[in-house]
Amino acid sequence: MTHILNARRALGAASALLLLPALFTGAMTSSAAAAPDAAPDAAPDAARCGTARPITKTLPSGTRWTMCWRISGTKGLVLEKIAYQPKKEPKPVTVLASAALAQVNVPYDSGEVEYNDLSDIGFGNTAVDISPSECPGGAISSVYIPQQELNVKALCVTTAPHGYAYRSDDYDAHGNPKKYTAQGSDLVVFSVSQLGWYEYVTQWNFSDDGTITAKVGATGDLSPNDYSGEGTGWPIGKGDHDRATSHYHSVFWRLDFALDGSSKAKVEQYDTAKAGLGTGSAILKTTRTAVTKELAATSALRRWWRVVSTAGKNTDQHPRSWELVQQHSDHYDAHAYTSKDVYFTQYRACEQLASGNSDPACAGRGTSVDRWTNGETLTHPVMWVNVGFHHIPRDEDQTPMPMHWQGFQLAPRDVTAMSPLTPDALAGNNGQAH
Amino acid sequence: MTEQGEDHRSGKQDGARARTLRRTLWGAGIAVAATAALIAVTVPRGASAQGDNATAGATSTAAPGSSGAGTGPVTENAAPQGPQTGIGPLTEAEVDRAKSIALQEGTPRSFRTAAGKQGAEYLDADLVDDPAATAGTPRRVEVLFYDYGHDQLVKKTVNLGTGAVERTDTATGVQPPPSGDETRQAAALLIKDPLGQGLRTDFTAATKGQTLTSPDQLRLRGLSFNTGEQSAPAGLDKCGANRCVRLFTQVKNGPWIDTTDYVIDLSDHTVGRIN
């Protein structure tokens, strides 16, 4: 038994690392993506979105994801009413009312040019057709784009392998060696936007272990127009002549939670600090800070946040929550709004873009998320995640530029009493053995 | 920038032409950078928009390792049509109806379109963000207009269930993406302007002697430009209060022409330069 427990603890501790591959693998080109039945299910809960066709998928391990979708001219792909139903849950667990991009800010290090790709151009306005070869084994959905006055094959829904879900060399009830291992899989949803020479993939992976991965990939070409000097550019091509200008992609996502169907949720910040020496190692102590008012926060060592349900608990009577799992980010410190890594604001319908927010219903409130973070009490929190990537070009980034990804994850924390992937034979091992 | 930079997305012919341009114009590209530098680094986007054959072919040559990808059956869903309920993509019929309801209400006599006519310039339509929406919720659409008479953004919230305009909000100093019409008008202004000399020259070079007279000869993408949203002053202080547009410009089935330094002010019909 001790052996089993140790294995479980180690898995828990390593969860953030295990999540990484989903963020950085190109799911689209994987051979297993062409697995049979990768197209979305016929939907028993088709009425969930109204007349529109929902995205629904039961992954091979039994986890089911459902959501509604649309394409906004500025925001691009908008996913709504996202619900997670692990194998043994009787009903879908609603996670998010809405999840979408909220800005892609691209300033060049030369100080000469800057783009705000959502608020100035729009990811839906620039949505392009996805061809079958780009959506292996999946379903491509067309949608009318008002600004283009065209139907565009803008959405791909498919599945992709995730690699190891778990592995454990163990013993069965009779003391015989038994290996428990499984491969995980993801529901993959994406759209593609073409902004000048850049092409962006807006992608969401919904894993069978409950993890949600949001990421934006940039490909296409480096700017053909931006060449610079030493310190602001990197030589590409022969010799030291053409220094492609370094630049930023600061990507914002806006997440409006609806945990267990309720917009009322609590936000908590956790920090872990050294607290002396024990007999065998340093003591680290984790403290919780309730975030009751709007917050603009910076990442720090061992700091994380979660959004906690006020409406649902798992069968262990722990409140369900979703944890923000950050990946590396270099925030851009030349704008106030990109100088923080995460914001929590009180919901307002007119606050949709993290900067350049042009909704006239928000007139007088300022146009960026830093302005809206002004001390209001949080009863309906909206999370804004800022992930900055400082791109110093290299020879290999020439045409077509290999996709570079940036993003974050939401991981379930106490949504279910154990992992939804726990094999049946181990399902009774909940809590410390007695 | 080098000979190695072949682009698999283009047809052979286009690729060859792009590379030829790169050779012949690369040296000159530096010289004309002060105007509008044609840098034929990229092949026509049009090539990838011409259908799956070209794209699929390019993908298979570019990705020999991805043997398993693209072999599974792919289903395609047509765009939804007609009236809808609940949450999901706006249909063409809904956009047309929302626009028509918004326009029926009329605008004050002093409102102006980009062309200076009475009325307001239509920009875009989007579904209202409503976290409480359910499958049966009537559809509500935000229809955006720009009033050039007062340089203000006008949002009309239309209820497609009742056919009524529920509210109208206006604001100055905010500039959403330009419409296709505004983008073409901006390009027409740049083509005529003295600052459009570089664009005209590069177009002629890229097309072996044709004269640029119309936005229809270009593939365009408009960007709104608001000085207040930049991380440094760009010297175009009116932009933001005025409606200003930048352009990504490409010769149709040809290379990019860099026009991103030019800012076309649609409110006062002037062309300016960043930096």
Q: Which value does ipTM take for this structure?
A: 0.88
B85 within domain boundaries: no
Between helix B197-206 and helix B180-192 the angle, nearest 10°, is 100
Map residue A46 onto helix, strand or coil: helix
Between helix B197-206 and helix B12-31 the angle, nearest 10°, is 140
B217 within domain boundaries: yes
B249 within domain boundaries: yes
* Same domain, yes or no: B211 and B152: no
B189 within domain boundaries: yes
Q: Return the structure tokens found at A110.
A: 């030369």
- For residue B207, give how far its alpha carbon lies from the nearest alpha carbon of chain A (Å): 19
Residue A231 or A22, more confident = A231
Helix (H) or strand (E) holding B147: strand B140-147
Q: How confident is the model at residue A165 (pLDDT cuts 50, 70, 90)?
A: very high
Residue A29 has pLDDT above 50, yes or no: no
Among A212, A190, A158, A162, smallest CA distance to A38 is for A158
pLDDT of residue B231: 81
Domain that holds residue B44: 12-55
Most confident of A219-223, A226-230, A356-360, B225-229: A356-360
Mean pLDDT value of segment A108-123: 95
Nearest CA in chain A to B222: A121
Active site residues of A: 117, 198
Nearest CA in chain A to B38: A225
Contact yes or no for B84 and A98 at CB 8 A: no
User: Between chain A and chain B, how many beta carbons pairs sit less than 8 Å apart?
Assistant: 283
Residue A401 has pLDDT above 90, yes or no: yes
**CATH number (domain holding residue B105):** 3.10.450.40
pLDDT of residue A346: 98
Residue A24 has pLDDT above 80, yes or no: no
Going from the C-alpha of A228 to that of each of B39, B64, B233, the distances in angstroms are: 15, 35, 19
Q: How many domains does chain B have?
A: 3
* Same domain, yes or no: B194 and B218: yes
B50 within domain boundaries: yes
Contact yes or no for A347 and B229 at CB 8 A: no
Nearest CB to B70; choose among A132, A242, A334 = A132
* Same domain, yes or no: B184 and B166: no
Mean pLDDT value of segment A306-325: 97
* Same domain, yes or no: B216 and B163: no
Contacts of A263 in chain B (CB under 8 A): 131-132
Q: Count of CB atoms within 10 A of residue A171's CB?
A: 12
Rounded to an integer, what distance in angstroms lies between the CA atom of residue A398 and that of residue A377?
48
pLDDT digit string (tens) for chain B, length 275 residues: 323 333 333 333 333 333 333 322 332 332 233 334 333 333 333 333 333 333 332 333 333 333 333 347 999 999 999 999 999 999 999 999 999 999 999 899 999 999 999 999 999 999 999 999 988 889 999 999 999 999 999 999 999 999 999 999 999 999 999 999 999 999 999 999 999 999 999 999 999 999 999 999 999 999 999 998 988 776 789 999 999 999 999 999 999 999 999 999 999 999 999 87
Residue A1 or B89, more confident = B89
pLDDT of residue B234: 67
B152 within domain boundaries: yes
The answer to whether A429 and B38 have CB atoms below 8 angstroms apart is no
Contacts of B70 in chain A (CB under 8 A): 34, 132-134, 136
* Same domain, yes or no: B166 and B184: no
Contact yes or no for A256 and B175 at CB 8 A: no
B36 within domain boundaries: yes
In CATH, what is the architecture of A2-262+385-426? Distorted Sandwich (2.70)
* Same domain, yes or no: B115 and B157: yes
Q: Return the structure tokens found at B80.
A: 């939804």
Q: Return the structure tokens found at B87.
A: 């949450």
The answer to whether A434 and A346 have CB atoms below 8 angstroms apart is no
Among B120, B122, B138, smallest CA distance to B130 is for B138
Contacts of B246 in chain A (CB under 8 A): 120
Q: How confident is the model at residue A47 (pLDDT cuts 50, 70, 90)?
A: low
Nearest CA in chain A to B62: A400
- For residue B209, give how far its alpha carbon lies from the nearest alpha carbon of chain A (Å): 23
Cis, peptide link before residue A400, omega less than 30° from 0: yes
A424: CB partners within 8 A, 6+ apart: none
* Same domain, yes or no: B254 and B232: yes
The answer to whether B163 and B145 have CB atoms below 8 angstroms apart is no
**CATH number (domain holding residue B234):** 3.10.450
The answer to whether B1 and B26 have CB atoms below 8 angstroms apart is yes
* Same domain, yes or no: B201 and B232: yes
Contacts of A225 in chain B (CB under 8 A): 37, 39, 256, 258, 260
The answer to whether B131 and A98 have CB atoms below 8 angstroms apart is yes
Nearest CA in chain A to B37: A225
Check if B141 contacts A (Cβ < 8 Å): no
Q: Return the structure tokens found at A192.
A: 């593609």
B63 within domain boundaries: no
A403 burial (CB, 10 Å; 0-12 / 13-18 / 19+) is: middle
* Same domain, yes or no: B253 and B195: yes
Q: How confident is the model at residue A48 (pLDDT cuts 50, 70, 90)?
A: confident
Percent of chain A's residues with pLDDT above 70: 89
